[in-house]
Chain A
Amino acid sequence: MTVIETIQKNRWRYLSLVMGFFLFVGPYAIIARMINTATGSMASPTLHTLCYRMPIDWLFGGRWYALLGSVAAVFILAVVILAFFMGPVFCGWLCPVGSVSEGVSRATPLPDRFRLRIRDPQITKGLRYGFFVGFIAVSMIVGYKIASMSSVCCRYCTSSILQNMANGLTGQMSAITYWHTGSLITLFSWLVIGGIFMSGGRGWCLFFCPLGVLSNLSHTVGKKLGMYRISYNADKCQDCTKCQVSCPTWAIDTDKSVDSHLCITCKECTNACPHEAYEYGRRR
């Protein structure tokens, strides 16, 4: 498929991803703005208002009291519940962090041979769950004060970087003058390694996003119970591999089945397949 064809076929998703930017990232942050208005909060509406990570950190770090009344916790719960019924549509259709790295990857004219793509979803899952277990371990170690360690939540925060970059783009240049070591590492991991040098540009989402892992776990349970998912019909498949090339999260196995632990229901595969071997819907 040409770039134009890809854009045409996936136009609704790309529009949705752009909309996600305005919904979640300040100074627009429409959802945070609505929440602040509803709760009477005077705090600046930013991407941090609905932090993707801290409530997960609190949950495993024994700080359950912090979850009560936290809009970020409600947001995460909503994303996970949505993933149960519809698949991880937040990741695939709205997340500004994922969309920026995916956009950077797609916009960079780098030959595919210079980009990493792990062909075996089992290995990708190993890397993904290794991080998640590590994330839980760090949350517990920090939360229960087991050893001297710093949370990986805020010290390696893509939301913070994206929000600062958005502030810079909208005229607040001072927002991009301060970088700490963690933010420099994160910027490089998120946009350069995970973005430009990984096929699909979703390296950060795959290997360092705890909300992504929770969403996919929820989706996997939902799939077993017959909820919405991308399903593969082997009878229609002509082995052209366009689905595998198009998948930004490397969720399609060598036998062309879709791994629910990695799929973000972006529907790139359903749109790329000329034989309609992939379909989004409910089924047992």
Chain B
Amino acid sequence: MVKAAIIVFAAAFTFMLTIGAAVYASDYGKSEMVHFRVAVPAGNITSPQVIKGAGAPLEMAPIIINLQQRGNLKKVLNPGIEGISTHWITNIGKKPIKIRMELVNASIPVRWEVSANLPFDPDTRTFIEPLPPRESIRNLGIDWFFLIPEDRLYDDIVYEGGLLLSDADTGETLTFLPITVMNGAGMINGSGGDCH
């Protein structure tokens, strides 16, 4: 009887630990390695919105990274670098697009890491083959790491700019996703999510 109770307790313990880990991840995940979706063309994303076009609707929202909202371990052990990431860039338009990316107003160093099943030129940050309509870039993983200088770590606004996606052939703006890295109390990120 005692043994059965111990086994049930053990199972309940790891069950609750897993649920707790998921709840905690949803909390710190709002400001650590935020994952977001990108649709092109989607215009200027000034507020959370559902983008409709070819294919399934996509939710997009301005990204606000509140450095104070990060987990305590992160804040203590690895505070000077924060990342955002996407695995989804989808062409919701009607014509193939050669996508160029730019991080606007890069006032602090930002490291790009791009892996995709579409040829990418890291110098011009352009996918050199067009993305057909209704398709997403396969096996995509783009991480942007904001390398925050120590003297700016507690600034009210650390970075304020955004991700600009344009048509590499015409220069036309396709999508602008505002990104803010800041320090503040009680801010809630409009984006967030998991990597799948």
Contacts and interface: CB of A to CB of B under 8 A. Distances in A.
A44 interface: yes
A179 interface: yes
B194 interface: yes
A123 B81 contact: no
A81 B11 CA distance: 26
B28 A181 contact: yes
A2 interface: no
Interface of A: 41-44, 48, 54, 57-58, 66, 120, 122-123, 125-131, 133-135, 137-138, 141-142, 148-156, 174, 177-182, 184-185, 207
Contact of B195 (A123, A138, A154): A154
Interface stretch (B40-48, B67-75, B154-162, B165-173): B67-75
Interface residues of B, number: 50
B7 interface: yes
15 contacts: A42-B117, A123-B6, A126-B14, A127-B10, A130-B10, A131-B14, A137-B19, A138-B22, A141-B22, A142-B22, A152-B21, A154-B194, A174-B111, A177-B81, A177-B145
Contacts of A182: 25, 28-29, 32, 71
Interface in B157-196: 193-196
B139 interface: yes
A153 B21 CA distance: 11
Given A151-B22, A185-B73, A128 B195 contact: no
Interface of A is mostly: helix
B25 A133 contact: no
Given A122-B7, A128-B14, 16 more contacts: A57-B196, A66-B196, A122-B3, A130-B18, A131-B14, A142-B194, A150-B22, A155-B21, A155-B25, A174-B113, A178-B145, A180-B70, A181-B70, A182-B28, A184-B73, A184-B78
Given A181-B70, A182-B25, A41 B78 contact: no
A155 B29 contact: yes
